[in-house]
Every structure is written in structure tokens, then in C-alpha cells.
Amino acid sequence: MDERLIRIDYGTAFPGLDPEREIGSVKELLLSSSGKIREGAREGKEGFGWFNLPEADTGPVWRHAEWLRSFDTVIQTGIGGSALGNQMLSRALTHPYYNELTAEERGGPRFYVADNADPESVSSILEMTDPSRTAFIVASKSGATAETMANFLFSLDFLGRNGVEDPASNIIVITDPQKGALRTFAEETGCRVMSVPGNVGGRYSVLSPVGLLSAASQGADIQAILRGASAMKKQISGTEGKTGNPAWVIAAASMRNYLAGRNMVVLMPYSDRLEAFSEWFCQLWAESLGKDGRGSTPVRALGAIDQHSQVQLYAEGPDDKLYIFITVEERAEVIIPEPQLKSLESLSYLGGKGMGEMLGLEAMSTAAALIKANRPVMGISVPSVDAFRLGGLIFLFEYATAIAGIAQGIDPFDQPGVEQGKRYTYGLMQRPGFGKYAEEAREISSFSRRNSIII
């Protein structure tokens, strides 16, 4: 088996500067940060548990996944880290139109994610399901996230109203090992339950049951995902202090370009299967590093689609972005037919070429155009989009994010800005103990409406 994980080209990630010197300039910071990651994981410190997930026992996940596979439909109820990772794994590792296949073709249940608290969306999902043949994965570490718990209560009621005698028998919760509403719900009802490791934060939880359970229910090889993550972990750990460390290269490029005024990071995969990977990356990067007036803004892009919507800005707009391209060496290929009509002769240059080949050449062309414009560009190439390589990519970006944060004196594992918004929501929704936040939120909102235009 081809055990190659990735290739990173970073020679143009520091325009006009020597890449090795730039990486070397933050070497001591990165070395110290690497030590803190290993120490935090070894001691079980809050936030560091993701580092140990590649070695986790998948037996419990497989057992619950087999139960889920007995249903026609599985709905993941969660938001943020309890949804984006699930969408990323599903999009990368299953058929692009998985839910539209027959049950025999799928080999597993249909899969949906109920994340946003939009009544039209969650109602539409439930309208398409047979309640008795539908299972719910409810994922919230705190068991208090308002959007998730609202969707959970709605789904629980949906099961009861539609003749499911024991609604809890269609539910598995993934939550804190000891506390929270979902933990007490499981104790009261006897529903299935799995734990999020106590020292793993939501946006770093995709390699835990939070992400792996839904993927396994769809038939994904979760053992290969963890094996890829473990291989990447070994590569990173074995090349500390060396230019062959892929996480160091990403972290150093983001840090040095940030200091040069480039406060955005564009992740642009040239593969539809990796589109949701960019969505997952954006939460990981933004929520981990955007603190204390610092942090680079992550931008989602998809090649070649965004060549036609964003690259004009990238090439000739403000020089405020670092670009990371992800390309795929091998994919299912389609040969473009030779045009047969005289009116289409001008398209003959496309005939006989592979469509995937064209996508790869478009990535090269876009990167070349940006490099010519003196923009910082880094290229990541994967042999294929499969469970092994995806696991490697996940761990790589988790590590690069964590080490970049620690090296810059940022705690990459908390989210105080998010928590403030949650407190306002709890107060406005009249959760006991949060009344003062409701008053503050109304006052701020009232001030913001003093200057309005009504048409």
C-alpha cells in the first residue's frame, strides 16, 4: 500500500525572503510550543486531549455504529465542532450524492446534520424520515448548547408524537463523561451514551466519537482515519526542529506572513470532496487563534469554482492573504470527448484530456498567477482523498493551529468570545441565572438601532 501522506511545497510561502531563514526565525518558539503540547497531552490538561485521539480504542464506536446501521436514517444533532467534522468526513469519504442512492447502493443509513436552529431546515429533514426507522446522534459536550438542545427537544418530541413508544431508544448522546443535561438524560432514560474526553474541545473533537460515530455508520474506515492521523503525528514528532516538519511550515508561514500584514489565510482545495474540509478548517483556525485583537481570518475557497469569483481579488487586490492550495494526485478520471460538430471546433484543445487533469492544471495556473503577483503561496498535495490521508490532514491542521497559537502566546483551546454570545442567548431565552445578560444584550441592541433606515 502507498503510505505517502502529503507533499508540502513552501518555497513561495515567503515572497522575497528565504524560506529556511523565516522558519528558523521562529524555531525556538515552535520548539517550546511543541514541548507544551506533548506535556499538556501527557498530563491530561484541559484542551490537549486531541493529541492522544489517534491511539484511541475504536471498539465502542464500531459497536454503536452497527446499531445505527440498522436504521434507515441517522441525524447528527450538533453545531460547530459537533457538526462540521461530521459533514467533512461524510463529504470526503462517501458518494457525493450518498443520500440519493438506494439502500443497497449506500450500504448504510441516509445521513443528515441538524445544526442550525432554523425551523424550516430541521422540519424539512424530519418530514423526509420514518420516525420509527430514524436514529439521532445528539452531540454536545456541555449538554447546554442552546441550538443543539432546541433541535434535540424538537426531535425527541417528533419521535413521541409519531408513535415511537420509547423515543430514547432511537437516540445516542455524546457528551461530557460526568455532567450536563444529556448525561442526566441518559441516566434517566437508559439511552445509549458515549463520552467526549474531558480534555478535548469541540473543534478538536472530530477524531473522537463526536466525528467518528456518524462516519462509521456510513461505512467509513475509521481505523484508517486514525492510522493516518497517527502516521502524521509520528512524522511531526520525529521532525521537530527540522524543515521537514509539515506543521512547523504551516505555523511559521502563517506567523511570519501575519507579521508582514497578511492577516488572512485562504485554504483552497481543488477537490469537491475537500470542500467541507475548508469549512471545518475555518472554525478550527478562527476560534482557536482569533483572540486579544490578534489572529488571521480563515477564508474558504474551492478550486476551480472560486477562480471565477475570488481570484481577481487575490491577484490584484490587497496583499493581505496567505494562500494554501490542496491538490489531489489521483482521482476517478473522466476523459473529455473530442468535439464532433464544426461549431465546436474551437473546443478541440479540450478533447482527449482528463477532467481531473484539467483541474490539477488549473490549480497550477492559479498558483502561478498569484506567485507572479508576489503573493505567498503554499501547496499541499495528497496522493488521493481517502480515509488514511484525510486522517493525516486533520491531525496536521490541528497541530499547526495549536502550535501557532501557543507560539504567539494565544490559548488555542478556549473561546471567550463565543461564550459571551452564548450568555446573551441564554439570558434572552430566559434561562435561569442569566437575566443580567438579557438586559445587557437588549441595551446594546437598542443602541445599535438608534441609526436606522426603514424602507
Residue 382's DSSP bridge partners are: 328
377-382 and 7-9 strand pairing: antiparallel
Question: Residues 64, 141, 291, 422: which is the catalytic one?
Answer: 422
Cβ atoms within 10 Å of 293's Cβ, excluding its own:
5
b/e code 385-399 from CB counts within 10 Å (16+ = b): bbbbbbbbbbbbbbb
Rounded-to-10 torsion of CA 111, 115, 120, 123: 50
Is 308 labeled as catalytic in the residue annotation? Answer: yes
Nearest-angstrom CA–CA distance, 11 and 378: 7
- Among 141, 287, 291, 321, the one annotated catalytic: 287
Which residue is catalytic, options 120, 165, 188, 308? 308
Question: Nearest Cα to 374, choosing from 10, 18, 15?
Answer: 15
Which residue, chain included where needed, has cell 491530561?
Answer: 44
**Which residues are annotated as catalytic?**
287, 308, 422
